[in-house]
Amino acid sequence: MHSLFLRVSVVILSVVIAAACSGRGYEQKVPDYIMEIENVTVFSEEDFENADTIRLIKDQEFGDSDDLFFANVRGFITDDSGRVYIWDIAPGTLTIHLFSSDGDYITSLGRSGRGPGEFNSICCLNVRSNRLYVVDIALSRITTYSTDSFELLETVSIDLNNLNSAGQLSGKRFWRHYFIDDETRLLAYKVPQRAFENTPATIHYFTADSAYQELGEEVLKQNDVLENWGDSNMGSIMKQFSFQKKPLITVTPTGRIFIADSDELLIRELNKEGDEIGGFYYPVPRIPVTREDVRNSANEMIMNIAESVELPKVWPIMQSMWSDDNERLWISTFTETEDELEWWVIETDGELIGKFRWPGDREAPLYINGSTFTHIQGDYFYTREEDAETGLQTVVRYRVERVTE
């Protein structure tokens, strides 16, 4: 399964050069503190300037039909056979739609409610060992379906009384769920930011057993994006800006944990005890932040926040980080263009496989908890697309090719 995509050779040097040009503002020198970190490989600008080009070729759509209309696609995953599970969330709608790899609609799973096979929220879907796991953050439970028969197998509650026996979760709310292996889970709990305070929310990660009866030690703590508060005619309002630093985390299918802060392309790997066991760094040139950037991301209601918020000198480097089933990291980075991102595809040891430019909104909401708008499996890249005129949403599969000189 360790494919490096279909390789296509080209002799037109300008293709590679054009893909390598970033148009970024400030050059980036390697900070001293990076050089002092153990087990981190530091790459040079030469290591990414002439990267191979990744090409995406549209292959299949999964979307609205005469029998199905998406209310609000909030995420999607695939299984080993290429079937696509799309979760659809809107007032009164909480369900998972299942499509074949050819785009044919198969069935739906679940609905809004509190009974067996019903959800108050949908998050963090995972397919393992012929089972589909669906996390319900609101009800603190995991619903499991067979991917062979699609029947409901079991519902397991996350027992907060047992998990919080040592008081580690006091003042925290359930936030995210990850699989480390068949016996171990990684649970994220959040301490919210207080209104009008300048201390960001914190996200705390703990290991737990598969029965959710025993909570391990805290293995990681991340600061969330700072909330910026202000007043309006409607009362207190809050805004988080995309130029602010945010935490990133991805867990590979084999349970490897990778973390980062979006302001540096510094990726660190943790083991399940929380020890740093590796990582890598790229000195990516930076893009200046201007007050006009902030105004462009604000409406009239929050303009006073946009005018007063403290600006960093430069944009963060990364917008998102994902992992695929072959242990590769897919990192979207900001560019000088508001409606375009540059994606880096990287081996977990830091070796750059290739890059590509792709449409993306620099001012897009930072994230919606439980949402997954990008998924990569095998040699396919899945993304959500929306028709600007009709608002209709589809999940689109692209075939990935690596173009080499």
**Helix/strand/coil for 51:** coil
pLDDT of 16: 35
Of 173, 139, 180, 176, residue with least CA distance to 156: 139
Please provide the distance, in angstroms rounded to a whole number, between the alpha carbons at the two ends of the chain. 24
pTM, full prediction: 0.91
Encoded tokens for 99:
């499509």
pLDDT given for residue 4 in this prediction: 54
Residue 374 pLDDT: 93
Q: How many separate helices (H) and strands (E) can be counted in the chain?
A: 6, 30
Q: How far apart are CA 41 and CA 267, in angstroms?
A: 10
Burial 250-275 (b: 16+ CB within 10 A, else e): bbbeebbbbbbbbbbbbbbbbebebe
Rounded average pLDDT over 201-215: 95
The rounded distance, in Å, linking the Cα atoms of 16 and 355 is: 10
Average pLDDT, the chain: 90
Tell me, letter by letter, the H, E, C secondary structure of 302-356: HHHHHHHCCCCCECCCEEEEEECCCCEEEEEEECCCCCEEEEEEEECCCCEEEEE
Is the per-residue pLDDT at 310 higher than 90?
Answer: yes
- Mean pLDDT over 153-161 rounds to 90
Can you tell me the mean pLDDT for 267-291?
A: 96
**Which span out of 9-18, 136-145, 234-243, 292-301 was modeled with the highest average pLDDT?**
136-145
Q: Provide the pairing of β-strand 340-347 with 118-119.
A: unpaired
pLDDT reading at 12 higher than 50: no
Q: pLDDT digits over 22-79, tens only?
A: 455 566 788 899 999 999 999 999 999 889 999 999 999 998 777 788 989 999 999 9
User: Alpha-carbon distance 230 to 202, whole Å?
Assistant: 21
Q: Residue 291 is inside which H or E element, if any?
A: helix 291-296
Q: What are phi and psi of 15, to 5 degrees?
A: -65, -45
Has residue 334 got a pLDDT over 90?
yes
DSSP secondary structure code for residue 49 in this structure: H
Burial class (CB within 10 angstroms; exposed 0-12, middle 13-18, buried 19+) of 352: middle
**Whether pLDDT at 20 is above 50:** no
Domain boundaries, the chain: 6-78+170-404
Q: How confident is residue 234, by pLDDT bands cut at 50, 70 and 90?
A: confident
315 Cβ contact partners less than 8 Å away, ≥ 6 residues apart? 243, 286, 287, 288, 289, 334
pLDDT in tens, 168-193: 999 999 999 999 999 999 999 999 99
